[in-house]
Amino acid sequence: MAMLEIKDLEVYYGMIQAIKGISFEVNEGEVIALIGANGAGKTTILHTISGLIAPKKGSITFEGQEITKIPAHKIVENGLAQVPEGRRVFPSLSVLQNLKLGAYTRKDKKEIDDTLKMIYERFPRLEERKNQPAGTLSGGEQQMLAMGRALMSKPRIILMDEPSMGLSPIFVNEIFDIIKQVSASGTTVLLVEQNAKKALSIADRGYVLETGKIVKEGKASDLLNDEAVKKAYLGE
């Protein structure tokens, strides 16, 4: 059974249909890339999975439980976390306060401290800057903070929305290395990313989205070598 299963999903904004009956699945331990042009519906899919948008039709099943009617905060408690587009850190709170907010669904103080230690090992810069207001960090550091904050909830699956957006090439490489580490440590990853080449280079499988429909799917390595995908998304 797939860890996350999306079936016949339809999502509307008012009269406009953003998602047109799509189905896909994410298996435990996979890195799945959703690629497509701006406005294809990638972010809408993530928001619907994490309970921020209600679908008109279709089902979303996470670890065997239908979650379309469950409030967003309960979905987090069930083990699903999202790193939002544009990072969305709390700029006036310190780095440490931002991280601790990620653990609000957890009760065991010692376990939270252990996770924090793990995050500092993975993101040494966050430890160096733990007392600084998050708003004073660079874009790349804020992206690391947003990822660290999501990992504080100890998610089984993490949804990442455009993690490389607006970052310098050196930070882009660093962020993708971190995504590989997150996956290697046992967290499943669903990745929405404009940088299709980078996303497919670290993913197991990929889905190509066009105007609310999945038009191609397959092993990431096959999509990287697909002529149509190369032409449309890989700048070749």
Each residue of 179-229: pLDDT tens digit? 999 999 999 999 999 899 999 999 999 999 999 999 999 999 999 999 999
pLDDT band with cut points at 50, 70 and 90 for residue 105: confident
Percent of the chain with pLDDT over 90: 81
Both tokens assigned to 212 = 């609310």
Q: Is residue 143 situated within a structural domain? A: yes
Using the predicted structure, report yes or no on whether residue 135 has a pLDDT greater than 70: yes
Residue 94 lies in a domain: yes
Cα separation values, 69 from 20, 39, 50, 135, 199, Å? 19, 25, 11, 34, 30
Q: Give CA–CA dist 160/52, Å, rounded.
A: 15
- pLDDT, position 236: 65
Is 8 inside any structural domain? Answer: no
pLDDT for the residue numbered 88: 87
| Residue 208 domain-assigned (yes or no) | yes
More confident call, 17 vs 236: 17
Encode pLDDT of 36-60 as tens digits. Answer: 988 899 999 999 999 999 999 999 9
Categorize the per-residue pLDDT at 144 as very low, low, confident or very high, splitting at 50, 70 and 90. Answer: very high
Tell me what pLDDT residue 11 has. Answer: 97
* Res 156: pLDDT: 95
Whether 35 is in a domain gets the answer: yes
What tens digit of pLDDT does each residue of 5-48 get? 999 999 999 999 999 999 999 999 999 999 998 889 999 999 99
Band of pLDDT at residue 233, cut at 50, 70 and 90: confident
Question: In CATH, what number is assigned to the domain containing residue 151?
Answer: 3.40.50.300
Task: Tell me whether residue 6 is in a domain.
Answer: no
Domains identified in the chain, total number: 1
Q: How far is CA 79 from the centre of its chain?
A: 13
The answer to whether residue 17 is domain-embedded is no
pLDDT value of residue 39: 85
Residue 162 CA from chain centroid, whole number: 8
pLDDT of residue 44: 95
Domain span at residue 117 reads 28-52+71-233
Residue 4 located in a structural domain: no
